[in-house]
Amino acid sequence: MKEQQFASDNYAGVCPEAWQAMQEANQGSAMAYGDDEWTELASNGFRTLFGIDCEVFFVFNGTAANSLALASLCQSYHSVICSSTAHIETDECGAPEFFSNGSKLLIAPSHEGKLTPDAIRTLVLSRTDIHFPKPRVVTITQPTETGLVYTADEIKAISDVCKTYHLKLHMDGARFAHACEFLQCDPADITWKVGVDVLCFGGTKNGMAVGEAVLFFDKHLAEDFDYRCKQSGQLASKMRFLSAPWVGMLKNDAWLTNARRANESARYLAEQIKDIPNVELMFPVQANGVFLKAPEKVLDGLRERGWRFYTFIGGGARFMFAWDAQRSRIDTLVQDIKECSTLI
């Protein structure tokens, strides 16, 4: 593919900071299965960043991170409350149910992606009898699959409901960096300080080749998680190559700089197209995604001009930006949207 596309933020390559750290880790030999210095450094880096002594694990991808984290919070007869747009519901091929040996996902209807305290309460109270899987976990995606960011207060309100009903709170942070950038807050402010028990912190969409970190803020919940990773094929033997890039990402806040470039690209596109007729934003642009509602002919026009995008959320065209988004390419997209907008 010659020209840059914005169909997904995982179209991007590896950012220099992650690449450089991989190269530095590629010196000589190191202990296997996470007993190496890089893994220690990366784990401590997360503890410093979050200001808490948490348990940290490195897995290959987000599906594994989410599924194994949820499985560790559930028995097979439990259920997990999530939004209808949640990646664990729509894009993980049943992995959360599989790895939890059958914990059911309870889906809260949501148009714009967010889960609310009311929706959680409704689901919890809908059935309390022995015949229904017992709610045990709530999971929220930060930012949502629709690019919306939960504020600290919103998360706190959700965790208050969780406490009332003895539910654990999990956060799918495939784009966690982008949420922190938008809110201009410390990672702790939207996680353990407001009641999040486990966070899956995405590396791939933030500029790494591969890898997500699973952070257990309540260390007791991490019991035997290493066995879970091993059994599911997620324990890297050359772990240093999963952990070292994080050292590069955490140093000098590269993770945040990457997220800023991605978010700014999304805001730029949103700003440039706001006055174009027949084209509307489906959601406010807060993180690194822009969802456009436009007549099918307009979208077809963009496709004919070679643009790739997904339309799986509400039929709108999704454009996602990564650390490497080129401004000139966004300008070309804007121009094409302008020209195609009259195709109705």
Ligand X SMILES: *Cc1c(COP(=O)(O)O)cnc(C)c1O
Contacts to ligand X by CB under 6 A: 61-63, 66, 87, 141, 145, 172, 174, 204-205
Query: What's the DSSP call for residue 29?
Result: -
State the minimum distance, in angstroms, from the CB of residue 62 to ligand X. Answer: 2
Distance CA 296, CA 219 (A): 50
Residue closer to ligand X by CB (options 187, 289) is 289
Reported as type and span, the H/E element at residue 117 is: helix 117-126
Residue closer to ligand X by CB (options 87, 104) is 87
Residue closer to ligand X by CB (options 174, 199) is 174
Q: What pairs with residue 106 in β-bridges?
A: 81
Q: What pairs with residue 238 in β-bridges?
A: none
- φ/ψ bin of 278: left (φ > 0), alpha (ψ from -120 to 50), beta (otherwise): left
Residue closer to ligand X by CB (options 174, 266) is 174
Distance CA 295, CA 169 (A): 39
Residue closer to ligand X by CB (options 43, 61) is 61
State the minimum distance, in angstroms, from the CB of residue 65 to ligand X. Answer: 7
State the minimum distance, in angstroms, from the CB of residue 321 to ligand X. Answer: 13
Q: What pairs with residue 79 in β-bridges?
A: 104, 135
Residue closer to ligand X by CB (options 214, 279) is 214
Helix ranges (DSSP H) in 232-340: 240-250, 254-273, 296-304, 327-340
State the minimum distance, in angstroms, from the CB of residue 332 to ligand X. Answer: 25
State the minimum distance, in angstroms, from the CB of residue 283 to ligand X. Answer: 14
The closest alpha carbon to 181, from 323, 4, 324, belongs to: 323
- φ/ψ bin of 28: left (φ > 0), alpha (ψ from -120 to 50), beta (otherwise): left
State the minimum distance, in angstroms, from the CB of residue 139 to ligand X. Answer: 10
* Residue found by looking up tokens 């750290």 in the block: 21
Residue whose C-beta lies closest to ligand X: 62
